[in-house]
Amino acid sequence: MANTIGIIGGGLAGLTLAALLGEAGFDVTCIDAEALSTSASAGYDVRTTAISYGSRQVMEDAGVWQSLAGNREAIKTIDILDGDSKHVLNFDSKEIDAEAFGWIVDNADLRRALVARVQSLKTVRHLTGVKVRDVTFTDTHARIILDSGKNIDVGLVIGADGRKSILRDVMRIGTWGRDYKQTAIVCLVVHEKPHHGMAVEHFMAEGPFALLPFTDLPDGTHRSALVWTVHGGDARPWIDCDEDIFNAALNERSAGRYGTMRVAGKRGAFPLSLAKSYAYTAPRAVLVAEAAHGIHPTAGQGLNMSLRDIAALADILREHKGSDIGDRAVLKQFQSERRMDNLSMAFATDGLTMLFSNDFIPVSLLRKAGLHMVSRLSFAKRFFMEQAMGLGAFKKAADISGKRRPSRAARQR
C-alpha cells in the first residue's frame, strides 16, 4: 500500500497529477464526482486557460502537450491599459528571447487530452460519476468511502477537489480570504482583424476586461477569449441579455481594437474570491490546487499555481517512492516548498485587484505613474515579463531556452 494514492477531484489539476504519478509508476485512483458524459458534453466548461511558459514543462511531463498542438494559441505580446489613459504598457516576448509568454487553451480540449492520457496509463484508475462520502485515517493508510458504499484504501489521499474541498473539511483545515463581489463573464468572441498573438488587459473601475488570443477557425475566422469582470450584481443581465446588446457593450469596451467583434457560443459567469487554506497537510493527506488556494484571475495564474503545486508534489513523491509517502514529514516538505509562492501570488493578485479597481484620484495617478515607470525601466519590464511567463517560481525548474526541468534532487545539489 506504500505506493498507492487516491486523488479526490477529476478536474484539470487532479487529472494532471494523476497522469504525472501514473507515469512514475504509482498505483493511482482518480475520483471525479462528475460523470464523464457530463464533463465531456458541449458547454460543460466554456472557460479557457493560460498555460504559462514555465507550466508547459508540467504538461509535457504529463504527456498531453503535444496532443494540444493544434488547439493552443501563443501569447506573444501583452498590452496593459488603465482606465481611460492613452498610455499602454507593452510586453513583448522577443525582448527576453522567448518563444511566448504562454499559451491559451480551451478547458474542454485540455480536459479531453488529460482524460485520454490517464485512461491510457495502466497504473491509473479513473472513476467518474462517483462521489466521496468520507475519508478516515489510520496509522498505516487512508480509507476513502464512496457514496456507493465501496471503500478504497491508499497510502496517501490528495485533495484536488476545489474550493469546497471535501478532504479539507475532513482534515479540519480552515480558510481565509475575501469575496471580491465581482463576477467574471467568459466566452469566445470572433472579430474582423487578427490578434497577432496579443493579450489585452484593460483595467477598469468595475474590474479587468481581458481579450486573450485564441486559435482561428478552419475557415480563417479570428477568435479571442474574453474575460470581462463586472460587479457581482451586474453579471446576470449580461449573461441573459440578447446577443445584440452584449455585442454592443463588447465593441464599446474593445474600442475597435480588432474591428467589429461579436460573441461566439455560450457565455459563462464565475464569482471571484480569494481563498487560502491555513495548512496543506495532515498525516496521509495533502491539499493541492484550489483545495489549497484560489485567487483572482487578473494575472492568469490560477491553474499555473496549481501546476507548480503538482510538479513539486510529484517530485517529492517520486523521491520517496517505496517508502511511506503518507508520512507527515514527507508531506511537510511539500507544504514548506509551496506555501510561500502561493502566499506571495495571493497577496500580489489581491493587491492588483484592489489597486486597479480604485477610482480615488491620488491612487489612479500613482497607478498610471507606476505603469509609465515600468515601461521605461528595462530591468523592471524584464522582471514582470518573467513573472507573466511563470518563471518566477520555476527559476530552479526551467529556463528561457526551454531545457528540460531537472529532478528536484538534482536542483537541490
CA dist list (Å): 196 to 28, 29, 216: 41, 42, 11
Confidence band (pLDDT; 50, 70, 90) for 306?
very high
**What is the average pLDDT across 206-225?**
94
pLDDT at 87 (0 to 100): 64
The strand pair at 261-277 and 198-204 is best described as unpaired
171-188 residue pLDDT tens: 999 999 999 999 999 999
Per-residue pLDDT at 331: 95
How many angstroms separate the CA atoms of 334 and 155, rounded?
16
Q: Model pTM?
A: 0.88
What is the structure's pLDDT at 235?
87
The mean pLDDT of 83-93, rounded to a whole number, is 77
| Residues 161, 14 contacting (CB under 8 angstroms) | yes
- Top pLDDT among 398 and 325 is at 325
Using one digit for the tens of pLDDT, what is the confidence trace for 110-124?
999 999 999 999 999
pLDDT score at 86: 66
Position 361 scores a pLDDT of: 47
163: β partners? none
For cell 489510520, name the residue: 138
What pLDDT is attached to residue 113?
A: 96
Chain segment 253-272, per-residue pLDDT in tens: 998 999 999 999 899 999 99
Place of cell 480536459: 111
| Topology adopted by domain 4-177+274-399 | FAD/NAD(P)-binding domain (3.50.50)
Q: Look at residue 380 in the predicted model and tell me its pLDDT.
A: 56
In the chain, where are the structural domains located?
A: 4-177+274-399
pLDDT score at 411: 42
Residue 397 confidence class, pLDDT cut points 50, 70, 90: very low
Checking if the pLDDT of 400 tops 90, the result is: no
Lowest mean pLDDT among 190-199, 230-239, 365-374, 398-407: 398-407
Q: By mean pLDDT, which of 63-67, 233-237, 239-243, 287-291 is the weakest?
A: 233-237
Q: Are 345 and 26 in contact (CB under 8 A)?
A: no
Which three three-digit cell numbers place residue 291? 483545495
Rounded Cα distance, 225 and 389, in Å: 19
pLDDT the model gives residue 408:
45
Grid cell 480588432 in the structure block, residue:
258
pLDDT for position 205: 75
Distance separating alpha carbons of residues 366 and 362, to the nearest angstrom: 6
- pLDDT 10s digits, 344-394: 888 888 877 766 655 544 445 455 555 555 565 565 556 666 766 665 544
**Least confident range of 70-84, 135-149, 151-165, 277-291:** 70-84
Q: State pLDDT tens for residues 315-343.
A: 999 999 989 999 999 999 999 999 998 99
Is residue 169's pLDDT more than 60? Answer: yes
Q: Which amino acid is at 290?
A: E
Angle at 277 between CA 347 and CA 268, to 5 degrees: 75
The per-residue pLDDT of the chain, averaged, comes to: 87
Strands 198-204 and 77-82: parallel
In angstroms, the CA 35 to CA 370 distance is 48
As given in the structure block, the three cell numbers for residue 68 are 494540444
